[in-house]
Amino acid sequence: MRPDQTSPFQSPKPMRRRASGVAKAVFGVLMLAPLAGCGTSDRMKMSAIANDDYRLRHPIVLAKESVSIDIFPSLAAGGLDRHSAKQVASFAEEYRQGGRGPILVLVPRGPGQGESRGMVAGIRRAFESGGVRAAIDVTTYPIGNQNLSSPVRLSFAGLKAKVGDQCGQWPSDLASGSTIDEWQNRPYYNFGCSTQSMIAAQTADPRDLVGPRGEDASDTLIQSRAIENVRKGIDPSTTWTVHNTSIGTVGGS
């Protein structure tokens, strides 16, 4: 056997050392891989599905806008009648919840508007009865048409919920044949805008869209009654008594 040849029953030592070094390097990389993820700040998860949520495309925002109501005078009452007084009381409660600044009262200016001018004193009393201590500024506006009834408008700067963008936008054609943009089975651009506008308009307190309200105090009388019933071995649940006639006996048999 020549000196440069190796026996087939004897493993070469340089190859063993080389394989051992590669194994250690691979093991070190596998051990450092989980730790490398802890140091990264990018935790976004990419998805192949586009985000077409209408709540993100047409978000509901809170904005400062003028809140107003029109009060039509009653010719028979000659001032603030019962129906108008309830409207002003409801408007005063709305001011207490989210209004700020002075309350503006616009009275029509022109002949035959004595009923409207007589409503101002009743409006002031209605606001005072509702616990509103804001300043009330009274001004007039010219009448455009003498044949139409001119209301007394009340307004204040308040918080309102509305959609951030304008509905009715169609940046692309739904049935476009020249491009394949609308062939991807995605919601169209204006989808959900009217629904968001309806929710914003029906929300009594816009702040409820941002966060929940604080909890009220518990009813101690109900709690005490339930505890006493449990002590006596009585079912504490509410018993509902139905006095209506069954459907099968309606109309006779």
56 versus 41: which is more confidently predicted? 56
Domain boundaries, the chain: 64-159
Count other C-beta atoms under 10 Å from residue 73's C-beta. Answer: 24
Contact between residue 150 and residue 116 where contact means Cβ atoms under 8 Å apart: yes
Instruction: With a cut of 80, say whether residue 11 has pLDDT above it.
Output: no
Q: Where are the alpha helices (DSSP H) in 39-139?
A: 54-57, 82-98, 114-117, 119-129
Q: For residue 200, what pLDDT is reported? A: 93
| 144-170: pLDDT as tens digits | 888 888 889 999 988 889 998 889 888
| Average pLDDT value for residue range 238-252 | 67
| Average pLDDT value for residue range 111-124 | 78
pTM over 0.85: no
Confidence category of residue 247, pLDDT binned at 50, 70, 90: low
| 189-215: pLDDT as tens digits | 889 999 999 999 998 888 888 888 888
Lowest-confidence pick of 6-20, 96-110, 135-149, 182-196: 6-20
Domain 64-159 has CATH 3.30.1330.60: yes
Sign of the CA dihedral running 74, 80, 81, 85: positive
